[in-house]
Amino acid sequence: MDWQRSLRSRLAARCGPKKSEQELKDEEMELFTKYYMEWKGERKSGNTSYVNIPRFYYRLPAEDEILLQKLREESRAVFLQRKSRELLDNEELQNLWFLLDKHQTSPMIGEEAMINYENFLKVGEKAGPKCKQFFTAKIFAKLLHNDPYGRISIMQFFNYVMRKVWLHQTRIGLSLYDVAGQGYLRESDLENYILELIPTLPQLDGLEKSFYSFYVCTAVRKFFFFLDPLRTGQYLNLDKDHNGMLSKEELSRYGTGTLTNIFLDRVFQECLTYDGEMDYKTYLDFVLALENRKEPAALQYIFKLLDIENKGYLNVFSLNYFFRAIQEQMKIHGQEPVSFQDVKDEIFDMVKPKDPYKISLQDLINSSQGDTVTSILIDLNGFWTYENREVLVASDNDNTADADDT
């Protein structure tokens, strides 16, 4: 049409000759820079200033800056109080339960009340702003199972809300012990938390105050052992000279007393000791590793002891080094020693490492046989249990059959 041709000609006249792609990019960058600098309040001189960038780093007050430390502590306390007020209190939880019960959707499944999505949203509107976060399609779908009417259990939903509230309350409570305000708890912080928690735990009503420190230490070491990538009475019984520390000879009585001397030597070589003796915290790491050998953190602990050459893998030499001690114990107990060659082949068959001559920590973890392999190498009782596993299984089956007959 004539009007279209006229429009194109006028546009071409205004835009001038056709520009190359690079020219268009340069022009775009020039315009962007111009408008950005104007928006930032900069002058046309081209001086770049960072005065308008918001502050994002605040250094921690030094130990001698008492006022700044107090200000930081008070501001954190106010922040945590505000977060605590955002959580549902007992009265609001009770009100939520009444609303859910009032809007339940028939029919019931046994004695369990159900609610459909339409009524679920109605409750969300009436429950108040604090509850808004729980009334989403995502949470409803998460709790939706095989109900033919497309409903969820009121009890399951309410328990979900309760757990979330409890977790947030615990998080806020733990944050109060984060003295440095860095978002994590040091060992001393967690010790303070658990020590003040003890009087509130009904299970520990009969615990004497003299044992508080042992309980706190045990709990804290367990947290740190399993959260880092990985029995207190026995410690007192092992400590024959009552000096609060364990020598290698005292530790050798641990469990069934069948850990090999070679393995115990490695424990005292690699672990932190004081004048050749082990303190309670080091002992707890040792116990947690041996009692949880299926866990990656425990396997990492034991693997470090078995890796005598510090190569990052176990080879035939290192396996033989530890198994010779098992063979020696078998001789002492009047048993015929088992051939290392047979044991070595069984270990490699169990683990199936990527390299047929080397077993890495990851190979042990991936095989799900790490607990068995480590038991074979460090504990005569563990080896005996593995070696006689078929006899033990048959014995268990016979006992089960006898019980069924009776």
Burial class (CB in 10 A: 0-12, 13-18, 19+), 69: middle
Instruction: Give the mean model confidence (pLDDT) for residues 325-347.
Output: 90
pLDDT beyond 90 at 362? yes
* All structural domains of the chain with their residue ranges: 66-175, 229-392
Angle at 298 between CA 297 and CA 304, to 5 degrees: 95
Matching fold, domains 66-175 and 229-392: yes
- pLDDT confidence of 349, banded at 50, 70, 90? very high
* Model confidence, pTM: 0.50
Q: Output the DSSP codes for 108-134.
A: PBTTB-EE-HHHHHHHHHHS-GGGGGG
Model confidence pLDDT, tens digit, residues 114-171: 999 999 999 999 998 999 999 999 999 999 988 899 999 999 999 999 999 999 988 8
Written in H, E and C, the secondary structure of 44-106 is: CCCCCCCCCCCCCCCCCCCCCCHHHHHHHHHHHHHHHHHHHHCCCCHHHHHHHHHHHHHCCCC
Q: What is the CATH number of domain 66-175?
A: 1.10.238
Question: What single DSSP character describes residue 204?
Answer: G
> Which of the residue ranges 146-160, 230-244, 300-314 would you say has the lowest mean pLDDT?
230-244
Pairwise CA distance, residues 42 & 94, whole Å: 57
Model confidence pLDDT, tens digit, residues 84-113: 999 999 999 999 999 999 999 989 888 889
User: What CATH class does 229-392 carry?
Assistant: mainly alpha
Question: Residue 379 forms beta bridges with which residues?
Answer: 259
pLDDT at 200: 85
Instruction: Give the mean model confidence (pLDDT) for residues 31-55.
Output: 62
- pLDDT confidence of 28, banded at 50, 70, 90? confident
Pairwise CA distance, residues 99 & 383, whole Å: 60
pLDDT at 320: 95
pLDDT at 153: 93
pLDDT beyond 80 at 234? no
- pLDDT confidence of 17, banded at 50, 70, 90? low
